[in-house]
């Protein structure tokens, strides 16, 4: 049973922004798969603005490598989109793993980002695609890099009257991409840890490598020092081993030590190596 | 003709149409909703309860406490030591303290938030090993609930004769039944002044008795009906909502609905007992087991529930399906302030199978023997003496089940390094342990020319309705259209005992068979088998009493000796062998169960489809037990942090049914409900060892645990 | 309160719901469709599964107001006793039903799969029902049933 609230379902972005500006104690609801669970567990709000009827928030457009994804697009729709399969394979893969078929039909990319869970599956792939978020309110528009958008676990820079309107990513043609998540069961489970990668190689050399690690640090992150280290290096066991060790060092640097690291760090090491080897 | 075939379940049509009425689907005009205020402390004295704000909250009709109980405030299947509503102290988190009755669910749940209780914390016993000597007494007579021993032969001599000795400790955690339908029920006063309770349950007559004690009214004043039940697995054997509902109806004389949320179900339902098992095995060079010594320590939480049963059953089955000449088992069950543990599919034996099957493999390894051969060599056979010195006379199919999987075992080959194969064997005594546990069944001829079967056996999804009807059809040679099933109602049936201990096919089936034989003779005398219609027989019978035939079956057992457990506690045993293939990813600790070959001696498969269904379901639960399921008190609140297998975690399965007929069973049948689960986790653990070289001693062996074991082994 | 109008099992319906009302409760209480079950209420069991525009959704996490203008199907859509859908028949024949509590949701996930894929592989079937827990059956006979039905039916919207 949900606590009491009033809801509106605008059909245009402008109306949604107007509601967000005028209503008190208001929350956006997209798929509701995070918000309603939280509300069932005690979170309260007086008003919700349902954005799922807004056509312009469900568009997908792209020219070459610049792709704009509407925040209200569901995981199922993303994983079925051919363009994203080609240019953002890690994102498609992650969308295919989230929750269950039902969750993928309900949950949205915008909700996943705005909820900002350390275990959110879409954040690592979006990080390696240099995602920039477009945010609007009645007062104006702003843009923010995904790295800056998430400020703490479950906390973003979004203000209550703001709406995420576009998720803009850079497609990565010519990269070998992937996403691997580890969970306690084969489906419908939250990631214990995850790795997204995009690797461009030339023969036996790494040309450009992008990595992102989820569920190990308070916020998923890119070990940019490791990416830099790999750029141009020979693809051999030695380099790969060293890179994996550097990733682990970076996680430790960010988070210190945690009991769960006894498990997570060796696994991350193994997965990074696997990803780099291909 | 009717049994042994693939007859469709008689309840399946309704169920695929979404039509069956579960307790939550019932609504009664003007019903109140009841919910429970529960303890947030593991052990504390209640100093003050303030319900004024709750009472003043809109839509609240009544708040009931232990002082409102007219009869006995204690219930329990064996030992009555569990209060419905806490008296002066609470002994675990989640223990019920008050019932709040509101006009709506929302009103009642809101009012719960307004109740204030002042506690004075008491010393908490959270470790069964410290429980015995703790000064904090959970019950006046001490914290040891039960201690059972199994003594056979001379254990010292047995170990002296051994060439190798293997000794390890195994432990398991709490598990939740996780039936898909939570506990729920509806109650109302009927026109005869009785209280009727309709609920999701595994046993109606037991609940009727408990309610009559609770309200201090004769049993005839209470009627219990089983609604369609969405799974039980042991978790709906104890009184769940029924007592609260009856008490609420008693006080309000209004219909009352109750339904636990999933969170409440996790918090309050009994769990599988975590067992700590110290296991020592001695064997000769040639593979013959000479001695087994086992120490079992269990944690039942603050109330007995089925703790004594688990303590005893675990002990009796500790040696597995093997003939062991020298046995010493010491099994102890302690009270703690942890969650209440109770009956869950297998009563402690899945835990023991994990231990004895791991031991078998370790002994084989030391002797450089094939794990299959050592099992074959020691397996029970006709004439064998069990650990309780019972001579097995009939239906001992363990060797046959081993033979079924043998070709696959011999042919096994690792396509990949990370693959592994494991065996698990088990035996399981059908029915309750060393006590009378009869079932009744009644048949009568109805005016419209049908045979009505009245049974108190509860269909909880396992298929007992269909099985019992098939037994009746086979005995009478009747088509399904000629039979009416009337079940799950204390008004219309006599006690059939609980749907537990894999006993309904064997025992209720036996009672139906008994009644059917009498009915057959009657029908024969009346010319039915020469073509006279039943309707006519009914019409011509002057004394309608003669149209009724009662059946009864109580399996022949003897009580076990209190010191040594010598005796014949079960009339028959089921046997099984599972062979499992896994794949382990060493980088991550992910273990995938690829394939299972499951061979079961069920005596006789009354319905093959149901038997297979039980086996598949048992395997799924075994996968969960081995790899992912773990109830962590305070953390596991719902399915988001209690994982059980999905369709994608399930292996491919091949089932083999062995039918070594049991002479006392209906058409030779025994049981399969629990046996299906028992050897599965064990065979997974052995397969993990085969794949990786490391052996898990603690379940579940989830990804983290397995990875840590692999890391440790790397050094 | 809000008026929502939608197609329920092929029929146009319309009713007043609270803003915070969940589709699960609207179906159970306002339309007496009790085949939609609440096994957990937080999207973790699948017993509340319904089809919205022919795709499975958890009705326990769907506001009733969201289905305005959409198509909602529950197991009642599939067939009735006289005219079972091939999937329902296959569930009965394969022994895919035990306690039955997961069955309506399971059937709907299967139905949605067969609408999109007339000849699914076993792993596609397993994936399609991976958002529906079943504690009784171990899924094997459910997968068998869906495979058996796949050849027999055209699950057209
Ligand atoms: C059973 C279950 C399984 C799950 N499994 C996974 C999983 O495996 N991996 C995973 O990453 N997540 C998982 N989740 C979490 C959740 O489904 C995802 O995070 C999903 O993407 C959230 O999207 P939504 O549209 O449902 O968000 P909502 O619940 O609608 O919203 C979430 C938050 O985002 C805000 N919001 C949404 N859209 C916007 C917008 N455009 N502008 C501003 N704010 C916005 C909301 O106000 C709210 O605070 C699971 C959830 C459930 C219930
Ligand atoms: S009720 Fe469990 S998923 Fe909706
Ligand atoms: S049949 Fe019981 S949960 Fe699926």
**What average pLDDT is seen over chain B?**
97
Same domain, C12 and C68: yes
Interface mutation target, options C19, C46, C53, C69, chain A, most CBs of A under 10 Å: C19
Cβ pair B16:C75 closer than 8 A:
yes
Tell whether C7 and C68 lie within a shared domain. yes
Given CB atoms, is A42 within the 8 Å cutoff of chain B? no
pLDDT value of position C152: 82
Pairing of the two strands B289-301 and B275-283:
antiparallel
- The ligand 2 atom at the shortest distance from the C-alpha of residue C37 is 1
**C-beta of residue B357 within 8 angstroms of C-beta of residue B686:** yes
Which residue does chain A place closest to B629, by CA atoms? Answer: A184
Q: Which of A27-31, B329-333, C56-60, C78-82 has the lowest mean pLDDT?
A: C78-82
Pocket test for ligand 1, best of A16, A20, A25, A34 (most atoms within 8 A of CB): A34
Cβ count near A203 (within 10 Å): 7
Please determine, for residue C155, whether its predicted confidence score (pLDDT) is greater than 80.
no
Residue indicated by tokens 């397996």: B379
Whether B15 and C103 lie within 8 Å, measured CB to CB: yes
pLDDT given at position A243: 98
Chains with 3+ CB–CB pairs under 8 A to A are B, C
The answer as to whether C156 is a domain residue is no
Closest C-alpha to ligand 3, atom 3: C134
* Chain B positions in Cβ-Cβ contact with residue C139 (cut-off 8 Å): 616, 620, 646-647, 650
Which chains share 3+ C-beta pairs under 8 angstroms with B?
A, C
Check whether B344 has a pLDDT greater than 90.
yes
Predicted confidence band of residue C81 (pLDDT cuts 50, 70, 90)? confident
pLDDT beyond 90 at B346: yes
Candidates C31, C43, C138, C149, partner chain B, best to mutate (most B CBs within 10 A): C138
Q: Which residues of C17-47 are buried (b: 16+ CB within 10 A; e: fewer)?
A: bbbbbbbbbbbbeebebbbbbbbbbbbbbbb
Decide: B244 and B187 in contact? Cβ < 8 Å: no
* Mean pLDDT across C120-133: 98
Q: Which chain B residues in 616-635 lie under 8 Å from chain C, judged by CB atoms?
A: 616-621
Give A-chain residues touching B590 at CB under 8 angstroms. 182
Residue A22 CA to residue A26 CA, distance in Å, equals: 9
Q: What is the pLDDT of residues B424-460, one digit of tens each?
A: 999 999 999 999 999 999 999 999 999 999 999 999 9
Residue B314 pLDDT greater than 70, yes or no = yes
> Which phi and psi (to 5°) does residue B563 adopt?
-90, -40
B contacts of C129 (beta carbons < 8 Å)? 647
The model's confidence at residue A81, banded by pLDDT at 50, 70 and 90, is: very high
Residue C135 Cβ contacting ligand 3 at under 6 Å: yes
In this prediction, residues B58-83 reach a mean pLDDT of: 98
User: Is the Cβ of A103 closer than 8 Å to some Cβ of chain C?
Assistant: yes
Using a CB-CB distance cutoff of 8 angstroms, which residues of chain C are in contact with residue B262?
39-42, 45
Q: Which of C34, C44, C95 sits opposite B639 (nearest CB)?
A: C44
Work out the angle between the directed axes of helices B509-525 and B464-476 (0-180°, nearest 10).
30
Closest CA–CA distance from residue A180 to any residue of chain B (Å): 11
- Same domain? For C93 and C129 the reply is yes
Per-residue burial over B326-353, b if 16 or more Cβ lie within 10 Å, else e, is bbbbbbbbbbbbbbbbbbbbbbbbbbbb
The pLDDT value given to residue A63 = 83
Average pLDDT over residues B301-326: 98
pLDDT score, position A17:
98
Most informative mutation of C23, C27, C41, C57 for ligand 2 (most atoms within 8 A of CB): C41
Residue C124 and residue C66 in one domain: no
Q: Is the CB of C139 under 6 A from ligand 2?
A: no
Say if C75 is an interface residue toward chain B (CB within 8 Å): yes
- pLDDT score for C156: 65
Task: Taking residues B390-406, report their average pLDDT.
Answer: 97
Q: What is the CATH number of domain B31-122+183-259?
A: 3.90.1170.50
3-state helix, strand, coil in chain C (%, to 5): 40, 20, 45
Identify the nearest ligand to the CA of B181 by its number.
3
In a domain, C155, yes or no: no
Q: Is C102 in the pocket of ligand 3 (CB under 6 A)?
A: yes
pLDDT number for residue A262: 93
Q: Is A34 in the pocket of ligand 1 (CB under 6 A)?
A: yes
Query: B275-433+570-714: which CATH topology?
Result: Aldehyde Oxidoreductase; domain 4 (3.30.365)
Where is the domain boundary, C53, C77, C101? Answer: C77
- Strand B222-226 to B195-199 pairing: parallel
In Å, what is the CA distance from B108 to each residue of A38, B32, B35, B250, B587?
21, 9, 6, 18, 50
Q: Over 80: is that where the pLDDT of A183 sits? A: yes
**pLDDT at residue number B1:** 83
3-state secondary structure of B620: helix
Order of strands, sheet of B96-102, starting from the edge strand that comes earlier in the sequence? B60-64, B96-102, B32-38, B256-259, B184-189, B195-199, B222-226
Domain limits for position C42: 2-77
CA distance C95 to chain A (A): 24
On whether both C17 and C71 belong to a single domain, the answer is: yes
Query: Looking at the whole model, is its pTM more than 0.90?
Result: yes
3-class DSSP state of A119: coil
What average pLDDT does this structure show over A186-203?
Answer: 96
CA distance C10 to chain A (A): 21
- Is residue C97 situated within a structural domain? yes
Question: pLDDT tens for residues A3-27?
Answer: 999 999 999 999 999 999 999 999 9
Topology of domain A55-170, per CATH? Answer: 3.30.465
The candidate with the shortest Cα–Cα distance to B435, out of B558, B349, B339, B615, is: B558
- CATH tag for B435-553 (out of 3.30.1490.20, 3.30.365.10, 3.20.20.450, 3.40.800.20): 3.30.365.10
Q: Which residue in chain C is spatially nearest to B464 when comparing CA positions?
A: C98
Query: By mean pLDDT, which of B25-29, B307-311, B438-442, C24-28 is the weakest?
Result: B25-29
Test site for ligand 3: of B14, B461, B612, most ligand atoms within 8 A of the Cβ: B461
Those residues with Cβ within 8 angstroms of residue B715's Cβ, 6 or more apart along the chain or in another chain: none
Tell me, yes or no, whether C66 and C97 share the same domain.
no
Q: How confident is the model at residue C157 (pLDDT cuts 50, 70, 90)?
A: low
Q: Are residues C73 and C98 in the same domain?
A: no
Could you tell me if C17 and C37 lie in one domain?
yes
- Residue C105 Cβ contacting ligand 2 at under 6 Å: no
pLDDT band with cut points at 50, 70 and 90 for residue B27: confident
Q: Chain A contacts of C52, Cβ < 8 Å?
A: 105
What is the A248 CA–ligand 1 centroid distance (Å)? 29
Last residue of a domain, one of C20, C54, C77: C77
Residue C72 inside a domain? The answer is yes
**Taking 90 as the threshold, does the pLDDT of residue C75 lie above it?**
yes
With a CB-CB cutoff of 8 Å, which residues 553-582 of chain B face chain C? none
Q: Are residues C26 and C69 in the same domain?
A: yes
Q: Based on the structure, what is the number of domains in chain C?
A: 2
Instruction: Pick the atom of ligand 1 nearest to A123's CA.
Output: 11
Q: Closest Cα to residue A183, out of B646, B196, C64, B685?
A: B646
Q: Mark whether C65 and C93 lie in a shared domain.
A: no
Q: What is the pLDDT of residue C153?
A: 74
Cα angle B644, B650, B656; round to 5: 125
pLDDT at site B5? 78
**Do C90 and C136 belong together in one domain?**
yes
Is C63 in contact with A32 (Cβ distance < 8 A)? Answer: yes
Interface test with B, best of A41, A185, A259 (most B CBs within 10 A): A185
Q: Are B258 and B184 in contact (CB under 8 A)?
A: yes
Q: Tell how far the Cα of A16 is from the centroid of ligand 1, in angstroms.
A: 19
Mean pLDDT over residues A229-244, rounded?
Answer: 97
- Digit-coded pLDDT (tens) for B134-188: 999 999 999 999 999 999 999 999 999 999 999 999 999 999 999 999 999 999 9
- Span B156-167, pLDDT tens digits: 999 999 999 999
Q: A22 at the C interface (CB within 8 A)?
A: no
CB of A28 shorter than 6 A to ligand 1: yes
Is ligand 1 within 6 A of the CB of residue A196? no
Q: ∠ CA(B512), CA(B518), CA(B521), 5° rounding?
A: 135
Best residue of A28, A100, A107 to probe chain C, by most C CBs closer than 10 Å: A100
CB atoms within 10 A of CB B227: 22
Q: CATH no. for residue C93?
A: 1.10.150.120
Asked if residues B54 and B63 have their Cβ atoms less than 8 Å apart, the reply is yes
Using DSSP, state whether A262 is helix, strand or coil.
helix
pLDDT mean across residues, chain A: 97
CATH number at residue C40: 3.10.20.30
Q: Do domains B31-122+183-259 and B275-433+570-714 have the same CATH topology?
A: no
Q: Which of the listed CATH numbers 1.10.240.10, 3.40.50.620, 3.30.70.2200, 3.30.390.50 matches domain A176-277?
A: 3.30.390.50
Q: What pLDDT does residue A207 have?
A: 97
């Amino acid at each position: 049973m949900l606590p009491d609230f009033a809801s509106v379902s605008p059909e245009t972005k402008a109306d949604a922004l107007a509601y967000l500006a005028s209503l008190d104690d208001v929350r956006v609801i997209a798929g509701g798969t995070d918000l309603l669970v939280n509300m069932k567990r005690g979170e309260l709000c007086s008003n919700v603005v349902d954005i799922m009827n807004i056509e312009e928030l469900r568009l997908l457009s792209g020219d070459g490598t610049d792709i704009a994804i509407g925040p209200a697009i569901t995981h199922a729709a993303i994983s079925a989109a051919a363009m994203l399969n080609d240019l953002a394979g890690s994102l498609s893969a992650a969308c295919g793993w989230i929750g269950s078929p039902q969750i993928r039909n309900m949950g949205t990319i915008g909700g996943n980002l705005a909820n900002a869970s350390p275990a959110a599956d879409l954040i690592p792939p979006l990080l390696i695609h240099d995602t920039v978020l477009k945010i609007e309110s009645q007062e104006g528009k702003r843009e923010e890099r995904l790295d800056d958008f998430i400020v703490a676990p479950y906390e973003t820079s979004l203000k209550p009257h703001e709406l995420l309107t576009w998720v803009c990513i850079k497609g990565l043609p010519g990269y070998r991409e992937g996403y691997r998540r580890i969970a306690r069961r084969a489906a419908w489970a939250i990631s214990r840890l995850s790795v997204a990668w995009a690797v461009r190689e030339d023969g036996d050399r790494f040309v450009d490598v992008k990595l992102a690690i989820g569920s190990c640090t308070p916020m998923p992150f890119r070990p940019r020092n490791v990416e830099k280290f790999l750029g141009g290096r020979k693809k051999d066991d030695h380099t790969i081993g060293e890179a994996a060790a550097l990733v682990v060092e970076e996680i430790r640097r960010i988070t210190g030590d945690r009991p769960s690291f006894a498990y997570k760090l060796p696994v991350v090491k193994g997965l990074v190596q696997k990803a780099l080897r291909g | 003709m009717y049994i042994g075939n693939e007859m469709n379940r008689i309840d399946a049509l309704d169920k695929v149409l979404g039509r069956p009425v579960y307790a939550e689907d019932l609504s009664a005009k003007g019903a109140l909703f009841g919910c429970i205020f529960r303890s947030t402390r593991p052990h504390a004295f209640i100093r003050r309860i303030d319900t004024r704000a709750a009472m003043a909250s809109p839509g609240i009709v009544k708040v009931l406490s232990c002082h409102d109980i007219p009869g006995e405030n204690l219930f329990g299947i064996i030992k009555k030591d569990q209060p419905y509503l806490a008296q002066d102290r609470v002994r675990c988190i989640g223990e019920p303290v008050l019932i709040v009755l509101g006009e709506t669910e929302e009103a009642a749940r809101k009012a719960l938030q307004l109740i204030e209780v002042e506690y004075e914390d008491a010393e908490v016993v959270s470790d069964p090993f410290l429980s015995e000597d703790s000064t904090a007494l959970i019950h006046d007579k001490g914290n040891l609930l039960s201690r059972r021993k199994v003594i056979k032969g001379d254990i010292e001599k047995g170990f002296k004769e051994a060439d190798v000795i293997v000794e390890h400790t195994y432990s398991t955690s709490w598990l939740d039944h996780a039936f898909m339908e939570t506990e729920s029920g509806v109650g109302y006063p009927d026109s005869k002044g009785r209280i009727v309770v309709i609920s999701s349950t595994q046993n109606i007559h037991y609940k009727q008795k408990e309610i009559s004690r609770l309200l201090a009214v004769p049993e005839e004043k209470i009627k219990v009906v089983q609604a369609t039940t969405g799974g039980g697995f042991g978790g709906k054997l104890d009184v769940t909502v029924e007592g609260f509902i009856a008490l609420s109806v008693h006080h309000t004389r209004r219909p009352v609905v109750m339904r636990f949320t999933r969170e409440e179900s996790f918090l309050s339902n009994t769990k599988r007992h975590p067992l700590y098992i110290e296991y020592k095995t001695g064997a000769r060079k040639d593979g013959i087991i000479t001695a087994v010594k086992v120490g079992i320590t269990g944690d039942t939480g603050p109330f007995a529930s089925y703790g004594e049963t688990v303590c005893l059953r675990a002990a009796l089955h500790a040696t597995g399906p093997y003939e062991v000449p020298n046995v010493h088992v010491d099994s102890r069950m302690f009270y703690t302030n942890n969650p209440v543990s109770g009956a869950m599919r297998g009563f402690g034996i899945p835990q023991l199978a994990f231990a004895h099957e791991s031991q078998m493999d370790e002994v084989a390894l030391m002797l450089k023997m094939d794990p299959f051969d050592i099992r074959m060599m020691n397996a029970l056979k006709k004439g064998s003496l069990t650990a309780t010195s019972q001579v097995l006379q009939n239906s001992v199919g363990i060797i046959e089940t081993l033979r079924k999987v043998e070709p696959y075992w011999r042919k096994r080959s690792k396509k990949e390094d990370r693959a592994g194969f494991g065996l698990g064997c088990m035996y399981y005594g059908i029915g309750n342990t060393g006590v009378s546990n009869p079932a009744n069944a009644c048949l009568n001829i109805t005016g419209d020319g049908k045979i009505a079967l009245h049974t108190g056996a509860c269909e909880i999804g396992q298929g007992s309705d269909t099985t019992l009807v098939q037994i009746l059809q086979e005995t009478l040679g009747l088509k399904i259209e000629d039979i009416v099933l009337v079940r799950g109602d204390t008004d219309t049936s006599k006690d059939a005992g609980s749907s537990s201990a894999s006993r309904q096919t064997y025992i209720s089936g036996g009672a139906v068979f008994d009644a059917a034989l009498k009915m057959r003779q009657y029908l024969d005398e009346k010319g039915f088998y020469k073509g006279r219609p039943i309707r006519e027989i009914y019409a011509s019978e002057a004394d309608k009493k003669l149209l009724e035939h009662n059946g009864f079956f109580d399996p022949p057992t003897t009580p076990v000796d209190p010191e040594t457990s010598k005796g014949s506690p079960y009339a028959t045993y089921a046997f099984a062998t599972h062979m499992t293939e896994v794949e382990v990813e060493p980088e991550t600790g992910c273990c995938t169960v690829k394939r299972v070959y499951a061979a079961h001696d069920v005596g006789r498969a009354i319905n093959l489809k149901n038997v297979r269904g039980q086996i598949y379901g048992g395997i799924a639960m075994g996968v969960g037990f081995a790899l992912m399921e773990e109830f962590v008190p305070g953390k596991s609140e719902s399915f988001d942090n209690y994982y059980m297998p999905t369709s994608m975690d399930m292996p491919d399965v091949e089932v083999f049914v062995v039918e070594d007929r049991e002479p006392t069973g209906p058409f030779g049948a025994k049981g399969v409900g629990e046996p299906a689960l028992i050897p599965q986790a064990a065979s997974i653990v052995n397969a993990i060892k085969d794949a990786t070289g490391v052996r898990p001693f603690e379940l579940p062996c989830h990804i983290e645990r397995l990875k840590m074991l692999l890391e440790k082994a790397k050094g | 309160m809000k008026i929502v109008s939608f197609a329920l099992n092929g029929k146009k319906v319309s009713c007043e719901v609270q803003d915070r009302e969940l589709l699960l409760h609207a179906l159970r209480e306002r339309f007496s469709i009790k085949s939609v079950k609440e096994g957990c209420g937080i999207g973790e069991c699948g017993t509340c599964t319904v089809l919205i525009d022919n795709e499975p959704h958890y009705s326990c996490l769907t506001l009733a107001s969201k289905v305005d203008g959409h198509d909602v199907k529950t197991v009642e859509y599939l067939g009735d006793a006289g005219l079972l859908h091939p999937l329902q028949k296959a569930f009965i024949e394969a022994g895919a039903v035990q306690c039955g509590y997961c069955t309506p949701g399971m059937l709907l996930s299967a139905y949605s799969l067969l609408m999109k894929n007339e000849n699914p592989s076993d792993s596609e079937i397993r994936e399609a029902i991976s958002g529906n827990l079943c504690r009784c059956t171990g899924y094997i006979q459910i997968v068998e049933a869906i495979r058996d039905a796949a050849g027999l039916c055209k699950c057209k919207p």
